[in-house]
A and B are shown apart, each in its own frame.
Chain A
C-alpha cells in the first residue's frame, strides 16, 4: 500500500513509440534464406536428388516421343514380350509398349504425388500448428474433427465420391486430401506442443511477437525435420492410393497409365513377366530416393540451429 505513494502518475512520462515493431528483436530473414541455399548447395547427395527429379520430369514430357509408341494401342500378337531393341521395357498383357506407358504414367503419378503432398502439407501444418499452439478447447475441437475423419470407413467415402463426382484427376485428389493430411497434422501438433514451451518461444512472446508470427517464424521452422519426413512419405502413399482408387473406379480411366496402376497390374505376373512390375516399381523407388535425399538436405539446411 505504501509503495503506491512513492510512484504517482507524475513519476512517469510516455515516450513516443515510432512503430509497434520497435520492441521486436528478430534475426533478419535474408541471411537465413541465403544460409539455407548455401548449405543446401554444399550437400552433394541432395543436389544429385534434384538432378534425378529434373531428369525424370524431362523424360515424362519427352519419353513417349522417343520410343515412337503411344500408351493405348494394343498389339495382342506381341503381348508379354521381354525388353528388347523394339520395346525397351518390353510389352504388357495387351502388347502395349511399357517404355511409353512408364513416361505417361510418370506424368500422372508425379503430378498426383506432388499435388497430394502439397495439399497435405498446407492443411496438415496449419491444422496441427494451430491446434498444438492454442491448446485447450481449440485443440480438442480440431483434433476430434481429425479423429472423426479418420474413423469413418474410407472405402465408403470413396464409393460415394465416385457417384457424386466425375471420374478424373481432380476427384482423386479430393479423395486423397480428405484424410491424407491427418498424419501430418498429428505430428506437427505433437511437435508444437513440445516446442511452444521452449525458451525461445517464450522469449519471442515476451518480446511482443503475435501468435501467427510465432507460428511461422519459430514453431514451424523448428518442426521442419518431421514435416519433411512426413511429406516424403506422403508421395509414395499418394502414388499407391491412386492405384487403389483407380482400382475402385475413381481414378484415371483405362487405358491411361500411372505407375501405381501399372505396378498393381504387373504384380500377379511377377513370376512370369517380371518386367511389367519392375519398371514402374523401379522408378517409384528412384523418385522416392531422390525426394528423400532432397528432403534430408533441406531439413539439414533449414535447421536454424545448424551452422555448418
Chain B
C-alpha cells in the first residue's frame, strides 16, 4: 500500500517537472521576438485585444480594422487630409446621376505573392460577403448601397443580379441603389476590400493564421500571428506604392490593460500608446497634456445617453429636454475626461459638420432646463418634481462611465432636483437590457465608420443599430429618404440639417461629449495618420530617428 502511494507521488512530481520543462523550452522559442536591431525601421504598438478575425469581409470589431487597413487596400484610401483618394483604383469615373461608378484597377497592383490584383478579386470578395449562406458578415450593411445587395443577402434575388461586374481584368463597374455621396469612403472600408479569389476558393480558411496562404495587397503583410500575444507585420515589397512605405516591421503587442500598455510605453517597449489601438488611462491624460506630449485629434463620434421614450417620464419631450440642458458638459470635459474632448450639442460630430461646434442648444442652460421641467411636469399631470417616477442611468462597467454618470447624477440633483439612480452592469447584460428596451437612460457611444451625416442619422430611422430609444418620427424618416436620392450636395445638406434639427428638438438622444482620438508617441515617430473615423494608418509612418 505504501509503495503505491510512493509511486503515485513520485509520478506526480515527474509529471509536473516535465510539463514545466516543456513549457520552458516553448518559451525560449519566442524569447527573441521584438528584437529591434538589424530589422530596419520597427514600430511597436499596442493592440487592445486579440482581433476576432483578420478577414476583411468578415470583420466584427474595430481592432481588426486597424490591422487590416495596413495589410489590405481597397479601391480608395483615406489620405492624410481625410479625403478618399485613388488607391488600388487608378481612375474613378462617376456617372452624372451618381449611380454608376467605373473603377480602373492599377496595372501595378499586386498581391503579396506576386499575382496581379484584378477586378474579379473585388467582385468575388463583395459577392462572398453578400452570399446569403455566409453568416460571418456582421458589417454587410456597408455594401447595401450597391444595387440589389440587400435583396441578394436576404436571398430574394440571385447573387448575379448584384450591381458589381468585372468587365475585364482591370475594370470594375458598380451600380448603386441610390446616389450615396459617401460611396468612395465606403470603398476604403475593409468590408469592400478585395480578397485573392484563387486562394480563397482553394482554402476558405486562409485567413485564420499568418502563413503562405495569407495573401494581401496592402502596404504590409501579416508575417506572424502569435495568438493573444503579438501580431507582426512586414513591409510588402509587392505593394504598388512600396516606395512610400518606410517602416520595415510593425509589432502589435496585444495588451488588454490600459495601464500596462502605458507603462510599457514609458519603459520604451512601445513607441506609441493610446487610441485607436488601445486607450490611454484617464489619469495619464492630464499629465501628458501638461507635458505637452498629448495628441488629441478630431473624431467623428459622440458619447451620449439614450432615453427610452416608452418609459415615463421620458415619454415627455420637455422632460427629455430639461435633462439635456441641465447637464454642464464643459465641466465634464475639462475636469473628468480631460483628453481635449468638447461638449456635444448635436448628433453629427463637428468633424463632419464643423458648424455643430455651436450645436442646437446651449450647454448647461439651467434656467431653460427648469422651464422645460415645469412644462413637462404639468403635461404629465404632476404637481411637483418629487412626484416624477424614478429614473435610472444604466451603464456598462468602466471607470470613466461611472465617473461621468455620477457627475451627471449630481448635476440633475442640484440643477433640477431630480434624483436618479445609477445601475452599473456587465457589458453583455447592459447591451442585452438595452436591446430588450428594459432601461430608462442608457449610456452609449458611436464612432461613425463613414464620415457622412446621412450615415450617422440613418441609425435613428428605426429601433436598431445604435438606437434603442423606441423613438420614431415620420417627418424625420421622409427627410432621410429624400436626402438619400438627392444628387445635389447643397440640397442634401439642407435636408439633413432639417432632419437633425427634428431629432435634437425631440431629444431621444442626450449628447454629452465629442470623442477625440487621444494618443501619444515618442519623438522619433512621425506621420502616423489617424483618420477622422479614428482608424490608424501606418502607410506613411517612419521611425528613422529612433
Contact = CB atoms under 8 A, between A and B. Distances in A.
Interface in B266-315: 281-284, 286-287
Given A268-B282, A268-B399, A271-B283, A79 B335 contact: yes
B397 A268 contact: no
Interface string A186-230: 000000000000000000000000000000000000000000000
Nearest to A256: B422
Most chain B Cβ neighbours within 10 Å, of A74, A77, A268: A74
Given A162-B429, A247-B397, A249-B424, A272 B406 contact: no
A249 to B, nearest CB: 4
Interface in B400-418: 402-403, 405-407, 409-411
A77 B328 CA distance: 13
B259 A268 contact: yes
Contact of B331 (A76, A248, A265): A76
Contact of A159 (B281, B422, B426): B426
Interface in B320-340: 331-332, 335-336
Contacts, number: 72
A163 B407 contact: no
A273 B282 CA distance: 12
Provide the main secondary structure of the chain A interface: loop
A93 B403 contact: yes
Interface string A160-174: 001100010000000
Contacts of B282: 93, 268
B402 A254 contact: yes
Most chain B Cβ neighbours within 10 Å, of A73, A93, A159: A93
B429 A159 contact: yes
Contacts of A273: 283
Interface residues of B, number: 29
Contacts of A76: 331-332, 335-336, 407
A76 B406 CA distance: 11
Interface in A256-308: 265, 268-269, 271-273
Contacts of A254: 402, 405-406, 409, 422, 424
A249 B397 contact: yes
Given A74-B406, A249-B424, A253-B423, A94 B259 contact: no
Given A163-B429, A167-B423, A254-B424, A74 B287 contact: no
B421 interface: yes
Interface string A56-74: 0000000000000000111
B157 interface: no
B539 to A, nearest CB: 34
A14 to B, nearest CB: 47
B335 A249 contact: no
A72 B410 contact: yes
Most chain B Cβ neighbours within 10 Å, of A77, A159, A255, A265: A255
B425 interface: yes
Interface string B415-457: 0000001111110010000000000000000000000000000
Contact of A255 (B284, B286, B409): B409
Given A74-B410, A77-B335, A265-B399, A246 B283 contact: no
Given A268-B282, A269-B283, A272-B283, A249 B426 contact: yes
Given A248-B397, A249-B424, A268 B283 contact: yes
B199 to A, nearest CB: 40
Contact of B426 (A79, A248, A268): A248
Nearest to B409: A255
A253 B259 contact: no
A249 B410 contact: no
Contacts of B332: 76
A268 B282 CA distance: 8
Contacts of A162: 425-426, 429
7 nearest interchain CB pairs?
Answer: A249-B424, A76-B335, A74-B410, A269-B283, A249-B425, A254-B422, A76-B331
